[in-house]
Chain A
Amino acid sequence: MATLSLENLRKQFAPKVVPVKDITLTVKDGEFLTLLGPSGCGKSTLLRLIAGLETPTKGTVKVGEKNLNKVPPGDRDMAMVFQSYALYPHMTVAENIGASLKLRKTPTDEIKHRVGEVAHRLGIEHLLDRKPGQLSGGQRQRVALARALVRNPDVFLLDEPLSNLDALLREQVRADLKQLFRSQNKPVVYVTHDQTEAMTLSSKVAVLKDGVVQQLDSPDRIYTHPSNQFVAGFVGSPQMNLITLRCENNHAIMGDFKLKLPNLTRNPSKVVMGIRPEDLAVASSEDAQTIQGKVFLSEQLGREELISLNVHGSEDIVLRSLVPSDHDWEGDAITLMIPPHKTHWFDIETGERLNREDYSPPVDSVPATAQNRAE
């Protein structure tokens, strides 16, 4: 029964190298927090700070009420799965899994029992006598997982554990992971740059950029209500359309068309509009807000077709839209409707979300975004 909490955590390597700036968040039992961000955003450093492989410059790492800043990694009761798996090459699979128990002077019988149990659960019993060098990538990954699970730790830390698997296997292991950690009911911190993993696995996602949490929210909120332009552009594939538009009396001007601005927190002269390709639909006659354009490229995705079009009246505006693939759109003119409630508006300078929505987020996921912006 533990809650992992980070308070104003900061890591500074050099005056200009600050991978983690000021991060405050909590992860409760059974919560699956994903740290999502591009490479260099500080997500791995943050994980290493939690594990105790790095010492924070400022701030604290706590489990429950206990401050762990001075506690060495081995005494934190956290298990970590490394991106490289970090299996001990000279030990058999069984020795690898049992290493942590052996170091804690667990009786041999119990080690054997627990290793057998976890190996059974992960389906790697037949590999126990092999060395890591004789295993495939997927099997190594399972051994690394088993090594973490066998300890029954307070907190699980996973550093891009799926990135070395091929695409097909990754999808399958992802599903397994979700089930596995749901049954553990412990705090899990998972680092990835893959938004699909973040969306599918997590109960909470923290999107990081330059050592600052951009948004800490549930996966669907991250997707439907990105708190700024960076999150909007980073999460979602195909990427959200982000277009800079001029504003005139409460309307944004897109080529020959005017889009009504909602009640924004500010009324700027220019604004960034964001809309996901799948939210742009082929317009029917009764749709109020439509635009027209000429399709210059279509990409077949199987179920749908991704089309790129130039909006009439402004050749440099390119919109991408997912449309049913029953028709070859290339070269055609098309009318698309822009649903106001699925349109996101961002400040052109700060990237901040401008349209408020009638929603109050759950209490424990508010502070991070608000505080971190100060940095």
Chain B
Amino acid sequence: MTQDAIRQRERRVGWWLITPALLVLLLVFAYPIGRAFWLSLFEQNLGTELTAEFNGLGNYARLFGDGRFWRSLWNTSVFTLVSIVLELVLGMAIALVLDKSFRGRGLVRTAALIPWALPTAVMGLAWAWIFNDQFGVVNDILGRIGLISEPITWLGDPFRAMLALIIADVWKTTPFIAIILLAGLQSISSDLYEAHSIDGANPVQSFFQITLPLLAPQILIALLFRFAQAFGIFDLVQVMTGGGPAGATEVVSIYIYATVRRYLDFGYGAALVVVTFLLLIIAVAIVGYLLSKTRINVTGER
């Protein structure tokens, strides 16, 4: 048999072998995505009519004029951006501490993961109580140290409700980022720091010139995960504020949920899902591109 024939046969066997995986992927990814897009082309509101009517891109046109959608997108962006930045900074600080060896490090490392391991709905309830205006711990502490004279409403005020959500989210997901960054930190050889210190660098210079650049892949991976998660946040908001007050914390997921489940507007809900999905894909693609670039940058290998 010739070389070509062998190769061709191998390729054929290869296709047979990946067929099951491909079928599963089509079933769980391609079909729902396609179905959602198809649905988004129809007007189907179970509240007003039972038959679906083809509407072309009508739902998308409606979306452009929908102030509530844009507002939810804005809320989502604020929430995502602020929480990710805070989480990165705090996560880095925690990772740097955990990277040092000290007594009881294993214990601290495990304890640090607890917030991340808690079910979001449970910790969301806890935070809702913490921020409760009459019985909450936050108001109590602030009152005792004299920062406020009267209890403040946290979850009833547009700005403070968002702040409370962000604090709760930062508390929950900082450990996750810290662990990812810690893995990166531990892969950096101590020789590099020693060589750098002999070269005359102080610890701050070493952090910015050695640690940060070499940690870029982990930072981007953490960013990617957190972006996807924060952009689709639902459970925490649903439990703590339900999107209120007056829509001030209504994120995209909450709006979509309301559209579909409360107003039973399936067609329009599908259009919202498709647009959100595309935005996410674009963001992920950008981060993925940056990631592949930093890989090259760090290792020098293509």
Contact = CB atoms under 8 A, between A and B. Distances in A.
Interface stretch (A35-43, A99-107, A161-169, A262-270): A99-107
A103 B201 contact: yes
A276 B201 CA distance: 49
B283 to A, nearest CB: 25
A86 B193 CA distance: 9
A79 B196 CA distance: 11
Nearest to B201: A103
Could you say which interface size class chain A belongs to? Answer: 20 to 34
Interface in B177-231: 189, 191-192, 194-202, 205, 209-210, 213-214
Given A90-B213, A133-B299, A134-B301, A82 B197 contact: no
A54 to B, nearest CB: 10
B298 A100 contact: no
A75 B200 contact: yes
Given A90-B213, A132-B300, A133-B301, A73 B197 contact: yes
A103 B205 contact: yes
Given A82-B195, A99-B196, A89 B300 contact: yes
B297 interface: yes
Interface in A123-142: 130-134
B14 to A, nearest CB: 31
A104 B200 CA distance: 7
Nearest to B297: A90
A289 interface: no
A177 interface: no
A218 B210 CA distance: 41
A100 B192 CA distance: 13
Contacts of B299: 89, 131, 133
Interface string A69-82: 00011111011101
B213 A86 contact: no
Given A82-B194, A88-B196, A133 B300 contact: yes
A9 B41 CA distance: 81
Contacts of B202: 74
Contact of A89 (B196, B197, B205, B298): B298
A99 B196 CA distance: 8
Interface of B: 189, 191-192, 194-202, 205, 209-210, 213-214, 297-301
A147 B198 CA distance: 11
A51 interface: yes
B184 to A, nearest CB: 13
B298 A74 contact: no
A86 B192 CA distance: 5
Given A74-B202, A103-B205, A132-B300, A86 B191 contact: yes
A90 B214 contact: yes
Contacts of A86: 189, 191-192, 194-195
B300 A131 contact: yes
7 residue pairs, one from A and one from B, having the closest CB atoms = A131-B300, A133-B300, A74-B200, A100-B199, A86-B195, A86-B191, A103-B200
Contacts of B189: 84, 86
Nearest to A105: B200
Contacts of A72: 197
Nearest to A53: B194
A84 B199 contact: no
Nearest to B193: A86
B198 A51 contact: yes
Given A74-B201, A90-B214, A103-B200, A80 B300 contact: no
A99 B199 contact: yes
Contact of B198 (A80, A88, A130, A131): A80
